[in-house]
Amino acid sequence: MKKLKAKLRWTIVVMAVGFAVCGAGPLVTALAGERVIQARQRDAQAVESAGQASEPARKAVESAGPLIGQAGQAAEETTAAQAPQHAQQVKRLLIKDAMVIYGNGEPPFGPANISIEDGLIARVGRVPRDWTPDAVIDASGKYVMPGIINGHIHLQDERAGIPQPIQYELNLYLAAGATTIRDVGSDWTKAKEWRAQSASHKLVASRLVLYERIWASKGAHTAELIRQGVRYAKEQGVDGLKLFGMDRDLAEALMDEAKKQGLRTAVHIAVDETTARDWAELGVTSIEHFYGVADAALDGIQNFPPEHNANNEIHRFGRAGELYVQPNLNREKLSAVLDLMVRNKVFWCPTLSIYVASRDLIRAQNQPWFKDYLHPTLEEYFLPDLQHHGSYFLGWTNTQEVRWKKNYQVWMDALKEFDLKGGLITVGDDAGFIYQIYGFGQVHELELLEEAGFHPLEVIKMATVNGAKLLGLEDKLGRVRQGFIADLLVVNGNPVENLRLLNPYGTDVFTYDGKAINNYSPIMPGDPKVKVERGGGIEWTIKEGIPYHVPTLMKEVKAMVSEARAMRTKK
Ligand SMILES: [Zn+2]
């Protein structure tokens, strides 16, 4: 999200710490390529261990009765002696009898066993006889998929100057299955410290990858100052650069220096001289949101009325929602821009979920998880107030919503076209603004990508394999593959059947006689054994082999929220 009044408050603190690649910790570098096995071999092992590998995946869900444990409550069913401890490192961890979603769009397979040793996936398939696990997760009836790589987040320990514990956000992202999060703009000094703590497992957090704005700290109005700033950012240890729209000559200098320094880039294009065409030509790594793509497809410029003020967010967000439906949007030009992005390997991180309030405000303001999980700091920040970025809902009209709805249709079509041309879409939620809570926005992003026309397996690929490519970590992350970092999710149910199962709040599950079944099953109306229960959720988010128990994380979040609310009432 663009801060209109860019606060260049980055404090310069020199910490001579040479972090491992993207702050991913020593395991990343220790990873050995020779342990990687071929997909065929893996499948063969799975079949071997499964006995009945041809049994439909649905059967596994049908046997998932006991898994309807409430997301959001501690579930201590797993055998106490053998189950792992929340947030405790385990040398050898076994995930038993899981259906596996590999990550690259292949159909699920299993049941299979996944052996994890020293934070790496040691084997997928049969457990070697001489290999004894220190802890076991019984995943029968559950699905295991790679950890989600969230490509667009902001680390926030305050909103509008009011403190909010960083652990609130960190817990929520882990609970939503994000094992890696790419921060695209926050307090650099703090973020750097959190990245180090997360890498050394002293902080309960996803792996942090930091694309920051400190390149602008030298002053960014000349090419030379920008080059100095980029070099400074590199010295400081950023993983990449977060950019905003700027004039073409400055963008050229910046991109040239970023390439020299080997830094990846993420751009939020504003209504500016440069559009997606410029940034794609200059070889930016990723384009965030939708701005700049539609702008590059206009015959002429945006049709803003004379009183339009780009510093007024009602004007800015209201009319941003009209961009794709402007009469001078040229579909051929749009296709040409998408072609250029594909040719130059530009990722698109659309963050569809952060704008949905614009097309459906009442939904956005009444999400059921607000009751227990909305921190009062964030709640206050969301209230309509033009001083708060993204809180522009003052007298929001139906006409504005209708335009945004139509805008989404064209935007989603463009995403589909981009994918069909070979472009790579990634998942990001940009939460902490516009009624989106961290992680909850991420699951909605997956839902919206399905709405854009993608199969849930393709959506999962965007959240895993594509995310790893975005960060240049595709040889270590994003797949349930031997030798890869053990970033895995143990999901209560099959997310390919319903992406909503990945919501940390859980979701409605159709049950018969206490067992979850597909809601298209031939059930007679009036059958008393039919119930709807809250189920789903991720049971364990495993980051670098460390298991985090999601119901425990959510319990902690709930406690943080009630405590903050109680403090407020006292005042
Ligand atoms: Zn953002």
Per residue in 377-422, pLDDT tens? 999 999 999 999 999 999 999 999 999 999 999 999 999 999 999 9
Distance 520 CA to ligand 1 centre (A): 39
Distance 495 CA to ligand 1 centre (A): 26
pLDDT number for residue 54: 34
Domain with CATH 3.20.20.140 in the chain: 21-25+148-471
Least confident segment among 25-29, 108-112, 522-526: 25-29
CA distances to 287, 303, 444 from 23, rounded to whole Å, are: 23, 44, 27
Domain 43-145+485-570: assigned CATH number: 2.30.40.10
Rounded average pLDDT over 138-155:
98
Burial 401-436 (b: 16+ CB within 10 A, else e): bebbeebbebbbebbebbbeeebbbbbbbbbbbbbb
Q: Is the pLDDT of residue 3 over 80?
A: no
pLDDT tens for 318-374 read 998 888 889 999 999 999 999 999 999 999 999 999 999 999 999 999 999 999 999
Rounded average pLDDT over 517-527:
93
pLDDT tens for 283-309 read 999 999 998 999 999 999 998 999 999
CA distances to 101, 152, 291, 443, 456 from 353, rounded to whole Å, are: 24, 11, 15, 9, 16
Q: Which helix (H) or strand (E) holds 48?
A: helix 39-50
**What is the overall mean pLDDT for the chain?**
88
CA distances to 52, 358, 397, 455 from 363, rounded to whole Å, are: 44, 10, 14, 24
pLDDT number for residue 65: 34
pLDDT number for residue 145: 98
What is the rounded CA–CA span in Å between residue 73 and residue 93? 23
pLDDT number for residue 320: 87
- Residue 21's CB is within 10 A of a number of other CB atoms, namely 14
CA distances to 184, 298, 300, 350 from 336, rounded to whole Å, are: 28, 12, 16, 18
Strands (E), 469-514: 488-491, 507-512
Distance 35 CA to ligand 1 centre (A): 37
Distance 231 CA to ligand 1 centre (A): 23
pLDDT number for residue 531: 96
Rounded average pLDDT over 445-452:
98
Among residues 399, 501, 389, 386, which one has the least CA distance to residue 435?
389
DSSP three-state, residue 335: helix
Distance 445 CA to ligand 1 centre (A): 14
Residue type, 215: W
Distance 294 CA to ligand 1 centre (A): 18
Distance 298 CA to ligand 1 centre (A): 24
pLDDT tens for 155-164 read 999 999 999 9
Structure-model confidence comparison of residues 427 and 75, the more confident one: 427
Distance 132 CA to ligand 1 centre (A): 44
pLDDT tens for 47-61 read 333 333 333 333 333
Q: Is the pLDDT of residue 273 over 80?
A: yes
The answer to whether 431 and 364 have CB atoms below 8 angstroms apart is: no
Distance 430 CA to ligand 1 centre (A): 5
Which token pair is 395? 């007298």
Structure-model confidence comparison of residues 326 and 426, the more confident one: 426
Distance 2 CA to ligand 1 centre (A): 7
What is the rounded CA–CA span in Å between residue 99 and residue 106? 13
pLDDT-based confidence at 170, cuts 50/70/90? Answer: very high
Q: Is the pLDDT of residue 21 over 60?
A: no
pLDDT number for residue 324: 87
Distance 270 CA to ligand 1 centre (A): 12
Domain with CATH 2.30.40.10 in the chain: 43-145+485-570
pLDDT tens for 77-91 read 334 448 999 999 999
Q: Is the pLDDT of residue 27 over 60?
A: no
Distance 210 CA to ligand 1 centre (A): 13
- Percentage of the chain modeled with pLDDT above 70: 86
The answer to whether 241 and 266 have CB atoms below 8 angstroms apart is: yes
Give the 3-state secondary structure of 176-199. CCEEEEEECCCCHHHHHHHHHHHH
Rounded average pLDDT over 39-44:
39
pLDDT-based confidence at 569, cuts 50/70/90? Answer: confident
pLDDT tens for 533-559 read 999 999 999 999 999 999 999 999 999
Name the CA radius of gyration of the chain, rounded: 23
pLDDT number for residue 128: 86
pLDDT number for residue 422: 98
Domain 21-25+148-471: assigned CATH number: 3.20.20.140
Q: Is the pLDDT of residue 451 over 50?
A: yes
Q: Is the pLDDT of residue 2 over 80?
A: no
pLDDT number for residue 270: 87
pLDDT tens for 494-519 read 999 999 999 999 999 999 999 999 99
